[in-house]
Amino acid sequence: MSVIEEVFSIDLPVGEQFRIQRCRYTPASGETTKRISIVSGIHGDELEGQYVCFLLGEWLRANPEKIKATIDIYPAINSLGIDSITRSVPFYEVDLNRIFPGSKNDFLPAQIADGVVSAMKGSEIAIDIHSSNIFLREIPQVRIAKSQAQTLVPLANKLNIDFVWVHDAVTVLESTFAHAMNTLGTKTLVVEMGVGMRLSKAYGHQLLDGLLNLMACEGFLDIKPLDVRMPIQSHVGEVAYLNASGPGLFVPSIEHCQMIEKGSVVGQIVDPLSGQVLDEVIAPIGGILFTLRAYPIVYEGSLVGRIFGENE
């Protein structure tokens, strides 16, 4: 059984509503209090999650008898942004993922956040799918605040991703969707994969397998768990950040997601005006290049890549 529902609606000034929709899949026997929420599009320029939502919906429509508990799919939270290549909430230019849990008594973005939380509150698990941004390409990974590691890492390991990145708690991240939901008792994983404004089809299928496996393990689907990959764990090594030393055009020398040696060239920063190579970006450690810049214009400091290297 599936039904499309509007979970939040608010009038816009001129003849239109801002709305958030979900597709709810339930067992033939009806809705269950046990439910999982699959979420994408909190950032309007990130589309990888839209494809995953499609793939999962397609699978569930083909296998309705396998559904054991309520599965909610929310492909487009910032619906205005997704339909207009706008990362933040249009008009307000506010990053929706910095104002959770939101409030009914505040401006539009905060009301949207509040609407999102109200709709998903009570879910056992939420998977918030991001695709980095338009600047960087990422391998499929889950990012977890250290304080949540014990609960969330075992869950993340079921998602068929490549990397689990446990990071120190930062106060500003207390305003994210994931933090708000984790605080309310919903185990919430943040997936980052691919790049903004584009689809990486293979990653979409990889995460679909992960979602099916997680839902099988956690009692949402009546299927056998899948054979998924075990992600690299961040605590066994270190992350090196590669920032541009100066402005120019960044031209990568290698493909994303490669194993590289310490001292090898990741890319060049060149000057189109003078025809000179301004700098070479060198790998400070060996390891996997899990982040690579996709948007070529850089300033001093622009992130061009991240390498994860395992400790000896």
- Which CB atom, from 282 or from 297, has the smaller least distance to other proteins? 297
CB of 130 to Zn ion, least distance (A): 3
Under rule CB under 8 A, residue 31 binds other proteins:
no
- Which CB atom, from 8 or from 25, has the smaller least distance to other proteins? 8
- φ, ψ at 108 (rounded to 5°): -50, -50
Under rule CB under 8 A, residue 155 binds other proteins:
no
Which helix (H) or strand (E) segment holds residue 162: the answer is none
- Which CB atom, from 97 or from 234, has the smaller least distance to other proteins? 97
Collapse the DSSP code of 110 into the 3-class scheme (helix H, G, I; strand E, B; otherwise coil) and give the result: helix
Under rule CB under 8 A, residue 239 binds other proteins:
no
- Which CB atom, from 2 or from 86, has the smaller least distance to other proteins? 86
Under rule CB under 8 A, residue 300 binds other proteins:
yes
State the residue for tokens 């961040």: 234
| Spatial CA neighbour of 293 closest among 204, 200, 196 | 196
For the CA atoms of 257, 262, 267, 268, the dihedral, rounded to the nearest 10 degrees, stands at 170
For residue 41, give every residue at least 6 positions away whose Cβ sits within 8 Å of its Cβ, in sequence order, or none.
47, 49, 50, 74, 75, 76, 77, 78, 79, 81, 82
- Beta strand pairing call for 125-130 and 35-40: parallel
φ/ψ region of 128 (left if φ > 0, alpha if ψ in -120 to 50, else beta) reads beta
Pick one of 64, 185, 263, 301: the residue that binds other proteins (CB under 8 A).
Answer: 301
CB of 44 to other proteins, least distance (A): 12
Pick one of 22, 35, 68, 87: the residue that binds other proteins (CB under 8 A).
Answer: 87
When CB distances are held under 5 to 8 angstroms depending on the partner's kind, the choice from other proteins, Zn ion, none that residue 255 binds is none
Residue 9: C-alpha distances to residues 12, 18, 95 (Å): 9, 6, 19
Binding mask 101-140 vs other proteins (x if CB under 8 A, - otherwise)?
A: ---xxxxx--x---------------------x-x-----
CB of 127 to other proteins, least distance (A): 23
Neighbours of 296 (CB within 10 A): 16
Under rule CB under 5 A, residue 43 binds Zn ion:
yes
- Which CB atom, from 71 or from 269, has the smaller least distance to other proteins? 269
Binding residues vs other proteins (CB under 8 A)? 10-15, 18, 87-88, 91-94, 98-99, 104-108, 111, 133, 135, 171-175, 241, 243, 246-249, 273, 297-303
Residues that bind Zn ion (CB under 5 A): 43, 46, 130
